[in-house]
């Protein structure tokens, strides 16, 4: 990645031009950068940001120049100015900073749909969340606790274990040195879990399947350690298991679903009921370092670029 000077983009019909104040750095940005997800080169990375509306394109209503807004899902946010469709914009509540808004939108809505819809967590259930000190991990842990679950997490270091406990995890496994599948067996008296939230992929997938009880669900929502190799569906016969590979865009399919999910997340943060940890903020020029740190397991919580 290189920083280059480009003309300020012009908002098209239905779009707004935003002066970006903070942009989220997400794992998906690294997948696009490395070519795991196809993208035509060159492109401006980033798909999540918060800032101030600088200009309106044709046909935009309900927003004005100067409004504080955040959005997710349109590429080009590692930049001083970016265009976004008005249909994706959310107004940032009073009292919430640009950093908080850019930190919570994508990962907060992801944790929301995983805990409320992919598997609607019920009070008293025990659930497993991998990478518990990560951006999604810390938020998902807090939401699972709000819903009354007993939460097991995995992390790679003691420092991350402390953070995960701080978010509410009841039991944290250092999966770099201990078997999380064995620990799950112990914690559930051999019964297994109704759901495993797995964002790590390649290195955890097999044992995640082993953690499920009959009819349990593996929500494989990421691949931070690399993609899972192809598998034969016959494997799911070991307990009539379910496997899903969910993605945020399918859980914000309509404007009302987007507003409901983002509204919950923004509301909880504004009321202090959900804590957003910004683990690291980088300058735009240091975006490459932000990617190295995210991919190198050096980060915790949210990673931001601030402008």
User: Footprint of ligand NDP on this chain (CB under 6 A)?
Assistant: 26-28, 106-107, 110, 131, 133-137, 155-156, 160, 199-200, 203, 221-225, 246-248, 294-295, 297, 299
CB of residue 254 to ligand NDP, shortest distance in Å: 17
| Distance of closest approach, residue 18 Cβ to ligand NDP, in angstroms | 21
Those residues whose C-beta lies under 8 Å from the C-beta of residue 145, and which sit 6 or more positions away, are 151, 167, 168
Residue 86 or 252: the one with the smaller Cβ distance to ligand NDP is 252
List Cα–Cα distances, 44 to 4, 9, 204, 262, in angstroms: 10, 12, 32, 25
Pick the closer one to ligand NDP by CB: 89 or 219: 219
Minimum distance between the CB of residue 191 and ligand NDP, rounded to whole angstroms? Answer: 26
Q: Which is nearer to ligand NDP, 81 or 221 (CB)?
A: 221
Task: State the Cα–Cα distance between residues 67 and 53, nearest whole angstrom.
Answer: 5
DSSP class of 235: G
Nearer to ligand NDP, 110 or 142 (CB): 110
Output 56 or 167, the one with its CB closest to ligand NDP.
Answer: 167
Nearest distance, CB of residue 160 and ligand NDP, angstroms: 5
Give 47 or 187: the residue with its C-beta nearer to ligand NDP.
47
Cβ atoms of 86 and 219 closer than 8 Å? no
Distances (CA, A) of 225 to 47, 87, 162, 228: 21, 34, 22, 9
CA–CA dist 25, 303 (Å, integer): 5
Q: Give the whole-angstrom CA distance, residue 172 versus residue 154.
A: 6
Helix orientation angle between 287-295 and 27-34, rounded to the nearest 10 degrees? 100
Q: How far is the CB of 147 from ligand NDP (least distance, A)?
A: 19
Instruction: Decide whether 60 or 129 has the Cβ nearer to ligand NDP.
Output: 129
Q: How far is the CB of 60 from ligand NDP (least distance, A)?
A: 27
User: Using CB atoms, what's the residue nearest to ligand NDP?
Assistant: 134
Task: Cite the beta strand spans of the chain per DSSP E.
Answer: 15-25, 48-56, 68-72, 81-85, 90-91, 126-129, 150-155, 171-174, 193-198, 212-220, 242-244, 278-283, 302-306
Cβ partners under 8 Å of residue 71, min gap 6: 18, 48, 49, 84, 85, 88, 89, 90, 105
Least distance between ligand NDP and beta carbon 223 (Å): 6
């Amino acid at each position: 990645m290189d920083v280059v000077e480009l003309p300020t983009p012009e908002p098209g019909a239905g779009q707004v031009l935003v002066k970006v104040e903070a942009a989220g750095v997400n794992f998906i940005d690294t997948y696009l950068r490395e070519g795991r997800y196809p993208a035509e080169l060159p492109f401006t990375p980033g798909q999540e940001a918060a800032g101030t509306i600088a200009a309106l394109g044709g046909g935009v209503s309900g927003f004005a120049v100067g409004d504080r807004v955040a959005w997710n899902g349109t590429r080009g946010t590692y930049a001083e100015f970016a265009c976004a469709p008005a249909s994706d914009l959310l107004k940032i509540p009073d009292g919430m900073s640009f950093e908080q808004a850019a930190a919570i939108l994508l990962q907060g809505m992801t944790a929301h749909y995983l805990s409320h819809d992919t598997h609607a967590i019920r009070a008293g259930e025990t659930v497993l969340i991998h990478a518990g000190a990560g951006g999604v991990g810390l938020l998902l842990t807090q939401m699972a606790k709000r819903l009354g679950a007993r939460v097991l997490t995995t992390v790679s270091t003691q420092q991350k274990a402390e953070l995960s406990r701080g978010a509410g995890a009841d039991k944290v496994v250092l999966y770099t040195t201990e078997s999380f599948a064995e620990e799950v067996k112990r914690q559930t008296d051999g019964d297994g879990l109704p759901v495993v939230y797995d964002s790590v992929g390649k290195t955890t997938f097999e044992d995640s399947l082993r953690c499920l009880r009959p009819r349990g669900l593996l929500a494989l929502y990421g691949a931070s350690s690399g993609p899972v190799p192809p598998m034969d569906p016959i494997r799911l016969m070991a307990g009539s298991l379910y496997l899903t590979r969910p993605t945020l865009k399918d859980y914000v399919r309509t404007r009302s679903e987007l507003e409901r999910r983002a509204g919950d997340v923004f509301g909880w943060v504004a009321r202090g009921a959900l804590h957003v940890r910004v683990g690291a903020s980088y300058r735009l020029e240091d975006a490459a370092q932000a990617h190295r740190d995210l991919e190198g397991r050096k980060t915790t919580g949210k990673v931001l670029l601030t402008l």
